[in-house]
């Protein structure tokens, strides 16, 4: 059984995860348009992963007898100056999501909702990985600049990514 406050905050997190999917899809759309097929692929996989993050909370709310309420998804930014600017925005966004998950954990603690607190641990760990994934791509972009041969190689590397929810569950 979920307390109203916790149910509301979890629904807001569903919205934030769906918005995350929307942001990454917008980045993917620009990358595809600009000829960075590898980045577009990476962003597609990331958007799918965010849908999975949203769905996991959606299922949890239902399992706990709560009510999922879907809210308006904000329009994502759709113009990025460069691949580097794109990944900088991605990192900033993941840091925002990490804060939001941390706030949710604090709320679950305050409300003595042990089940939700345990459920959220998966997201706490996941956010470490999310920030690290984006951060390491950003490090490479800093190193190579986002043009020329280095960028070509990085784009090829990012073309290898695919998303499977089973892998993400590990």
Site string for ligand FEO, 82-111 (x = CB under 6 A): ------------x--x--------------
CB 38, CB 154: distance < 8 Å: yes
CA distance 79 to 85: 10
Q: How far is the CB of 157 from ligand FEO (least distance, A)?
A: 20
Which x/- pattern over 123-152 shows residues binding ligand FEO (rule: CB under 6 A)?
Answer: -------x----------------------
Least separation in angstroms between residue 97's CB and ligand FEO is 4
Residue 125 and residue 56: Cα distance in Å, rounded? 15
75-87 core/surface letters (b: 16 or more CB in 10 A; e: else): ebeeebeebbebb
**Which residues, 33 to 52, sit near ligand FEO by CB under 6 A?**
50
* Residue 20 interacts with ligand FEO (CB under 6 A): yes or no: yes
Count of residues touching ligand FEO (by CB under 6 A): 7
Q: Which is nearer to ligand FEO, 53 or 151 (CB)?
A: 53
d(CA 21, CA 43): 9
Q: Which 8-state DSSP code applies to residue 100?
A: H
């Amino acid at each position: 059984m979920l307390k109203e406050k916790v149910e509301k905050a979890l629904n807001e997190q569903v919205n934030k995860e769906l918005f995350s999917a929307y942001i990454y899809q917008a980045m993917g759309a620009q990358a595809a348009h600009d000829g960075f097929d590898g980045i577009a692929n990476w962003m597609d996989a990331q958007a799918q992963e965010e849908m999975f993050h949203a769905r996991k909370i959606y299922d949890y709310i239902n399992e706990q007898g709560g009510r999922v309420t879907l809210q308006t998804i904000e329009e994502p930014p759709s113009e990025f100056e460069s691949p580097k600017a794109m990944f900088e925005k991605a990192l900033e966004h993941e840091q925002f999501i990490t804060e939001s998950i941390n706030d949710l954990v604090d709320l679950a603690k305050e409300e003595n909702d042990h089940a939700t607190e345990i459920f959220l641990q998966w997201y706490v760990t996941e956010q470490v990985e999310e920030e690290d994934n984006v951060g390491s791509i950003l490090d490479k972009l800093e190193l190579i600049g986002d043009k020329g041969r280095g960028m070509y190689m990085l784009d090829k590397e990012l073309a290898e990514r695919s998303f499977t929810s089973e892998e993400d569950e590990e």
